[in-house]
Amino acid sequence: MVNCMILCSAFQVISMDMGRLIAGASNRGEFEERLMKVMDEVKEKDGKIILFIDEMHTLIAAGAGGQALDAANILKLALARGELKCIGITTLDEYRKHIEKDPALERRFQLVNVPEPTVEDAIQILKGLQKQYQIHHNVRYTDKALMAAARLSNRYISDRFLPDKAIDVIDEAGIPVEKVSGEESEQLLNMEKTLHERIIGQDKAVEAIGRAIRRARVGLRDPCRPIASFLFTGPTGVGKTELANALAADYFGSKEAIIRLDMSEFMERHTVSKMIGSPPGYLGYGEGGHLTEAVRRRHHRIILIDEIEKAHPDVLNIMLQILDDGRLTHSNGRTVDFKSTLIIMTSNIGSNVIGKGNYLSGFNKEEKVKKILDIIPKEVYERLMEKNIKLQVTERFKDRVAEDGYNPSYGARSLRRTIVRFLEDSLAEKILNQEINEGDSVIMDVDSDGPFLAGGDHGSTNLPSAFVGQSQCRLRRSGKRKNTVKMIDRFLPNKAIDLVDETGSQVRLRHAQLPEEARELEKELRQITKEKNE
């Protein structure tokens, strides 16, 4: 590194502004004369000058008119004779479009790909610019703010690159605002009340959306999928579309945050191109699709898909990719991020028809129908550990989830939705209410009124990582019921409930009245503890 700095210090880097060279050169040969003077000045310095050309692709056809040579052809001669040292920069797209098509010009340069810096590198770049922006905005940027700018911009701004997007974030964050908004946590906790001011009678739909927004805001949702996806069904006029409009105005900022797609316009196979853009060779290629372009310009918004039952199956395949992966590839190859969108689908099919299962069985693939339901993933434990929160659940909690969540038609997916309702939603509200903070260890239980905090050692960080299961009620069924409880163990955070304390000093069982299987397990654990102590 030191040798490189010593070597570079012997050279002088001069930037060549193509705009100033071309400006006013209206007569033939005038531009060539100016460029040749630049070349002569470089030669006089005996090769001690490095010519720097920004936006190098502008050399192609620059100054050309009639039979005149453009700047690229003039520079080729000097580059071929070794009289000129030159550094040019351009984007990969412009390189392929202009320079790569001129083999003679491409041969005279060595291609160096400059990758996007990592988040850690971007943080160091921001620290280098910290003083400059502090003087400009008359504010002070903490190191924590710079790290957040780099990490959050990398997570949520997918169509730009570091460090450019992180620099823009700290620049805009330093601009004073005229009005400070209210507490976001209060807005989230009162979301249902605000929506009910416009939506009357749709309690379940409003509550489902409120829970999904809270989960997303506190970081308990799957970061690789959209915020949530809903299928609203019912007759015309019950408020399906109005609920989406109210949510856009209340939480997403304005009604313009909605992308509305009427599936009556997507009943034919070729209409898929309206969503993602036309393929190469077809009319409209390069213009972009209605859906991908709208999301690319603004990520944080609602996608309202009206009358989903009218859509062509190929359109449903596109939606399945969005629901699964939270992304969609544009016709020109660019990937569009859907992770910050909330997807609402509406249908006029009555809920009584859906309840019979006739419509669902003929809707298309069974997988597609299940994907559009509000299925939230199971990695609650890992996300809570990122917040330094330890969680344990009681046997009564597991038993209640088994009772409410077992459904032979939907299998494990029904259990996952029940776990979301009982566990994630309660945790989200308690985190926002500051009943649960970083470093806490909590116990979740449930009764007839719903989930509640049964106890825990708040603020303690010395608890064993294995969680103690509480056997507060017996299994009232056998067979399928036991299999259901086993399935829950795979979805709940404590996948393998270890009743032995890490020290091995004792076995903690909360209740004496245990099922026969639990008594046998207790004996085995006591034997393990005894052997461990010996």
| Residue 277, pLDDT score | 78
Q: What is the mean pLDDT of each run of 10 residues along the chain (534 residues)?
A: 55 79 72 80 78 80 59 79 83 82 83 86 89 82 88 79 86 58 70 80 82 80 82 75 83 80 86 78 70 81 87 85 83 80 81 49 39 43 76 76 65 66 80 81 75 56 33 33 45 39 37 51 65 60
Q: Cα(32)–Cα(77) distance, rounded to whole angstroms? A: 13
Amino acid letter for position 442 = V
Residues 71, 125 share a domain: no
Whether residues 517 and 493 share a domain: the answer is yes
206 Cα distance to chain centroid: 24
Same domain, 132 and 200: no
The domain boundary residue, chosen from 349, 371, 393? 371
Whether residue 504 lies inside any domain: the answer is yes
CATH number of the domain at 505, please.
1.10.8.60
Q: Tell me what pLDDT residue 508 has.
A: 38
Per-residue confidence (pLDDT) for residue 452, from 0 to 100 = 66
Task: Say if 112 falls within a structural domain.
Answer: no
DSSP 168: H
Which of 371, 390, 405 represents a domain boundary (last residue)? Answer: 371
Answer yes or no: is 179 within a domain. no
What's the CA gap between 79 and 77, in Å, rounded?
5
Same domain, residue pair 399 and 438: yes
Is 230 within a domain? yes
On whether both 365 and 397 belong to a single domain, the answer is no
- Residue 309: helix, strand or coil by DSSP? helix
Outline where DSSP puts E strands in 124-252. Answer: 228-233
- CATH number of the domain that 43 lies in? 3.40.50.300
CA 229 to the chain's CA centroid: 14
Give the position of tokens 């806490």.
Answer: 440
> Collapsing DSSP states into helix, strand and coil, what is residue 163?
coil
Check whether residue 143 and residue 203 sit in a common domain.
Answer: no
CA atoms within 13 A on the CB side of 496: 3
**How far is CA 340 from its chain centroid?**
6
Regarding whether 294 and 250 lie in a shared domain, the answer is yes
Residue 396, domain member (yes or no) = yes
How many domains would you assign to the chain? 4
**306, β-bridge pairs:** 262
Other Cβ atoms less than 10 A from the Cβ of 381: the count is 15
Q: What is the DSSP letter of 287?
A: S
Are residues 380 and 423 in contact, defined by beta-carbon separation less than 8 angstroms? yes
The answer to whether position 262 is within a domain reads yes
The answer to whether residue 14 sits within a structural domain is yes
Q: Could you tell me the residue range of the domain that residue 159 belongs to?
A: 119-173
Same domain flag for 220 and 251: yes
Q: Final residue of a domain: which of 337, 371, 405?
A: 371
Backbone angles phi, psi at 473, to 5 degrees: -155, 150
Do residues 395 and 365 share a domain?
no
Judgement on whether residues 401 and 274 belong to the same structural domain of the protein: no
| CB burial readout 56-86, b (16+ within 10 A) else e | bbbbbebbeeeeebbbbbbbbebbeeeebbb
Residue 365 sits in the same domain as residue 280:
yes
243's enclosing H/E stretch is helix 240-250
The answer to whether residue 113 sits within a structural domain is no
What's the pLDDT score for residue 294? 82
Stated pTM of the model: 0.47
